[in-house]
Amino acid sequence: MSIEPVAKGGAVAADGLTAPGVDPSSPTPLYHQIFVLLRDKIYRGDYKLDSFLPGEQEVAASFGVSRITAKRALDEIAAAGLAVREQGRGTRVCIRPRSISVRASLDGLVHSLHAKGSSRVRLLDFEYVAAPEAVAEKLRIARGDEVQRATRVWYAEAGPFNHLSTFVPATLGRRWRRKDLETKTLVGLLEDSGVKISRAEENITATLADEVNAPPLEVEVGSALLKITRTVFGEYDQAVEYLVALYPPDRYQYTVSLGRDPELDSAIRPLKKAKGR
């Protein structure tokens, strides 16, 4: 079992972004930084129920810390009730992350906060790269296939509120240029290119700011961020975009409007009648 090196400066994560690392200059103890990173991996499902976390020696080598620090981080994981320390075997995950699915309108995707007139954008990165495994899986393409990757920071009156990394198949991405991403949303560019958006799959979780995304978001390394990943599909159910968005929680709120689903209502009514008999 192994984990990617995440010493200060970060490593390239499976989703094509820079993986957060420990920061010796941070006032947060190193063992707690490692605890948070491992905890997030457990919550994301990177480590499944009954799987074993890396051992003390491996954690120490991967994060560039002492074995005592690694041991304390794993002890913290166990103390938080996320894993059990088994002598002679290792640290076994003892929880299964739970997720909730919510059905929402596509209007919230097309008319997103990024499209508001008061917003402005700064393009940090625009290039064509080989798709990392996680990106390839989301876009339903082969690992290593070419994708267009763009990284932008969106600003409102209060300052930067979004660090957005988008990936689209190169066959679509070559329909626009750098300057287009400085003035339009990617969903808008897709629709302008003739792609009809039909649906999206979205996941919301939390993460920590690292040395790469903290400066443009104007937050401290290790600050809590809201993380949204989304895969957008066209009318023939082909994946046309995968994005990773990071938000400082004090500058962004995610609001979901819940309504009745006619299909669910029609299925529930017979049950209600049966109970009333």
- To the nearest whole percent, how much of the chain has pLDDT over 90? 34
Give the SS3 label for residue 109: helix
For residue 204, count CB atoms less than 10 angstroms from its CB and return exposed for 0-12, middle for 13-18, buried for 19 or more.
middle
Asked if 11-93 and 107-247 have one fold, the answer is no
Residue 259 in this model has a pLDDT that exceeds 90: no
| C-beta neighbour count of 265 within 10 angstroms | 10
pLDDT bin (cut points 50, 70, 90) of residue 276 is very low
Core vs surface per residue 158-190: b (16+ CB within 10 A) or e? eebbbbbbbbbbbebbeebeeebbeebbbbbbb
**pLDDT at residue 80, rounded to an integer:** 87
Second-level CATH architecture of 107-247: 3-Layer(aba) Sandwich (3.40)
Domain ranges in the chain are 11-93, 107-247
Average pLDDT of span 163-174 = 93
Question: Going by CATH, does the domain composed of 11-93 fall within 1.10.287.130?
Answer: no
Contacts 24+ apart (CB under 8 A), 252-261: 252/113, 252/161, 252/162, 252/226, 254/204, 254/226, 254/228, 256/102, 256/104, 257/104, 257/105, 258/102, 261/103
**pLDDT at residue 95, rounded to an integer:** 83
Greater pLDDT, 159 or 89: 89
Per-residue model confidence as pLDDT tens digits over 18-39:
445 677 887 788 898 898 888 8
Average pLDDT of span 168-189 = 88
Average pLDDT of span 257-265 = 60
